[in-house]
């Protein structure tokens, strides 16, 4: 079952388009794929940012011991 990239609701296929039953978003197959690609990219960016923050915090912790 396809999931809506906007609200996470279930999407139904209708004449080569996917339509969200919850928010009414209507996407073609390629729009649907690129919308999810974008979400995956931004999720990866957020992961990188928090990992960087942890490393900076660790650096601060290590240097504060001296
Ligand atoms: Zn939706």
Give me ligand 1 centre to Cα 20, in Å: 5
- Cβ of 20: how many Cβ atoms within 10 Å? 20
| Mean per-residue pLDDT over the chain, rounded | 92
Residue 50 is classified by DSSP as: H
d(CA 63, CA 47): 24
Looking at residue 66, its pLDDT comes to 67
The reported pLDDT for the residue numbered 23 is 98
**CA-based nearest residue to 10, from 41, 38, 32, 31:** 32
Pairing of strands 17-20, 2-3: unpaired
Neighbours of ion ligand 1 (CB under 5 A): 4, 6-7, 9, 20, 22-23, 25
Q: Give the confidence band of 51 by pLDDT, cuts at 50, 70, 90.
A: confident
42 pLDDT band, cuts 50/70/90, is very high
pLDDT digits (tens, 9 = 90+) for 16-41: 999 999 999 999 999 999 999 999 99
């Amino acid at each position: 079952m396809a999931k809506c990239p906007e609200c996470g609701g279930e999407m139904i296929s209708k004449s080569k388009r996917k339509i969200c039953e919850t928010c009414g978003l209507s996407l073609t197959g390629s729009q649907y794929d690129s919308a999810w690609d974008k979400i995956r990219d931004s999720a990866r960016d957020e992961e990188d940012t928090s990992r960087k923050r942890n490393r900076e915090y660790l650096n601060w912790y290590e240097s504060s011991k001296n």
